[in-house]
Structure 1
Amino acid sequence: MTNIQKKIWMLAVIVLLIMASIWMSLTLYNQKMQNQYNDILERYLVLNEIRTTSQQVVTGLNNYLLLPTTENLNSVNQSMQDIQDMQTKIAGFKNTENEFSLINYVNLLDSLLEVTDRALVFHSEEGIENARDSLSEATYISTYISDMTLSLIDSELNSYDRLYRGIIDQSEKLNQLGIWLLLLITFLLLLYTYWFSLRITKPLEKLTRAASELSKGRFDLKIEVNSKDEMAFLARMFEHMRTNINKLIIEIQQKAQLEKELQESKLLLKESQLRSLQSQINPHFLFNTLNTVSKKAYLEGSEETSDLLVNIAGLLRYNLKHLDKTMTLKDEVNVLEQYMNIQKARFTDRLTFRTEIEESCLHIELPGLTLQPIVENAVIYAVEPSEDGGTIWFRVIDEGDRVTIEIEDDGPGMPEEKIHRIMNEEEQHDSVNGHASGIGLSNVVRRLRLFNGYPDVLTIDGTPGRGTKVTIDIFKGKGAVEDDQAASG
């Protein structure tokens, strides 16, 4: 446990003990007063209940004498039993001041019960007059019991008057004591809180000033904190950081310089490799050769072969010269048609290519060699593996502020994992059964994102068993964007 935690726990324990002590004291005192009050109230209630029950005895006896039914007899017996039960409680009310009065009171209750029993006996023996006399005597005793009950209650009030006043005085003193205790506890807590906050805020102020100076580039201010808790340790670590920050900045600058030089070296290497490859291929010789073979085939009457060679030459010229340039959608559609003519010659009736193109959209610009890799991917994955071939749909739709290009096939679909890799630009080369797609779909995604300036330019829907659909959205009026400018931005 840290020092700051110990201080906080100590404060919490002190406050808890104080509050617990006050709560227990108040609880015990309130319980004591409550018990006294309940005892006094119990005395009054019992006396008043005896008075009421004695009257009920007389009333029930009179009803029984007038109408001797079992119900009236049970009512008289129940009232008499209630008086007997309450006599036991009255025995506990005796004290030095009311002992004589309570003895007389109990005797009166006994007399009432005796007279009532006698009236019931006379009535059962058909001594009506004697029963009436007993009723009159019981009425007199009940009246006397009522008067004596009021007298006892008045006596109890006088006896406990001092107790009531003492309870009121103690309550007032307890309220005053509670106020003083609250003020004292509040003062002590404020004092301790102020001291505790200073122990934390002062070191924090020093660290804040030091951080402000470091943000301005000053590393010559020493940080010292005189305490024995975690703030001192934090200050020492901050001081250690200050002394090493210059070395860290220099190391970062050196690494950044090395990284920059490494990137430049990689770019030079790729450029040299590309130039070397282009020089080896010698495109002009290849174009001239294909054109010569095409004309010869035409002269010999092989018009389909001639057209096929022309399409190959045009496609090869476009692939080598326009990869790093911005082209119109019309140019991309033309080279796509050349590519599909070559593939139709290969697959014949197995390949069906359907187009829906709105001519008003052909003027928009997009990176060169964008559509062919997507269609080529559809040919390789959707048409070639199937014995029955397949169908590829190519659509250009005017959406008002943008142009939507859709390339859809009826193949087996594309797995979610592969879509994820393509959209994260993790796949740079796609192939199946040894057939390469040339420019990978991840490369197309990267170039479209650089060209448009936002990530959601291409979406792929590859539900298994339902084919694959690639959708490209290009806003109208988008100017040409060079790949190297986008990369530097």
Structure 2
Amino acid sequence: MTKMNRVSSIKNNLIVYSLGVILLMTILSVYSLFIMERYKGQIEAMFEKHIFLSDIQSVISELDNDLLGFLSSKSSTRLNDYNKKRQEFFDLLEGDYDNIYSTEDVLMKNIKNLSEEYINQAQNAISYKRQRNVSKYYINYEKSKTIKNFIFEYIDKLNSIQLSRNSKTYLELVNQTHLLQTITYIIVISLIIISLLIVYLITARMVKPFSQLTHVAEEISKGNFDTEDIYLEFDDEFKLLAIAFNKMKNNIREYIAEVKNIAETETKLKDQQLKNVKMEHLLDNARLYALQSQINPHFLFNTINAGVQLSIMERATRTGEFLESMSRLFRYNIQKMDSTCTLGEEVKNISDYYDLLKVRFGHRIRFELDIDPLTFDKRVPPLILQPLVENAYIHGLSGLEEGGTIKVTTRYLLNEVCVIVEDNGRGIENSLIEKILSRNSNSQLGQNEEVGIGIRNVRDRLELYFHRSDIFRMEGRLNQGVKITICLPHEA
């Protein structure tokens, strides 16, 4: 709070300037009112004197008219009018004329004394008129008329004196008015000049900081946070603003530098992670190719063996069909080894494979397909169904005289595609299933080593492809067959 009061010079300067202007305007207004009241008093006194004398002159004239009318006609109406005017004249003379005229004004005293004498002579004339003494009321009337003329002369003389005095007073008022007007002009012009000067100084002090702030803000908008700090000389609000702006700019610069360092670190980490992912991907591909290559010698051996046996037995017609199916199998194996395929292609491949089985085993091996058309387009690694079907007939059905059934089922579910390969052959013990599915490469399977290699091969390739470890499940019991379930997620 103390710091803010110390630097609030702009506000204080504006307050002092405003109070100064208000004080000067107040003094000017009070002085003007004083002069005007003085002028007003002088003018009112001047008019009161003139009106007082005019009223005396007017009443005397009316009295004289009413007196002459009564003396000429002896009309009671004119006498009543005369008495009313006389009372009005007395009231006028007995008024507070001393407040209007100084007691030392001899002319006014003479007018008052003559006015009283005028009333006395008029009253005498009226009395002699009632007594029908013509000569005396005529003499008194002439005396009142003479006195009236003297009164009018004194009034004119007094008006002349007052006019002379009023002229001097008027000239004095005019001079004072000119002086007041000159003082007013000087004060107003001075206030205008001072106001313009103060506005210029305040504007100059405001424009300079704003110009610097605008320049620095423009540089910051271009991304240049290395501009110099703003320094101001005066301890006012703009200096506080400049300090806050410099602090904000420096904080932003430090924050951007920190963000850049973090971004560079994250970029390096991401690059390293990408390299690791690439290396892992290359390793997965190498493992995938290695696993895929394991199946070819075993399959090739069994297929060629079946072809040799068929050629010895028949040497003719059916050999062509057998070799045609075998060629499709070889072609599919070679073409798909380095790519993916669809589930529909896998189903077609095991159909060709079943044609080979029929040649070897006849109708002892039955093959059932329950395929959901919605699953045809599902992408999978190649050769995942054939090893399972081959394992089913070799290790589950080939040693049975009555043969058996291999069933392949696919279903399109909400979150996954389900593939089931099952047979009703010799079955398998749970302990052996655990060894087959064990992820320990040193697990000993004994005479069932081939079973473990083929199933592990399929499972590992599926897990590598879909990057999940809950895809493959194997179930079985002795003399009740084996059931293998594969759950393929949709997102892959």
TM-score under structure 2 length normalisation: 0.46
Whose Rg is larger? 2
Q: Which has the higher contact order (CA 8 A, sep 6+)?
A: 2
The TM-score normalised by the length of structure 1 is: 0.46
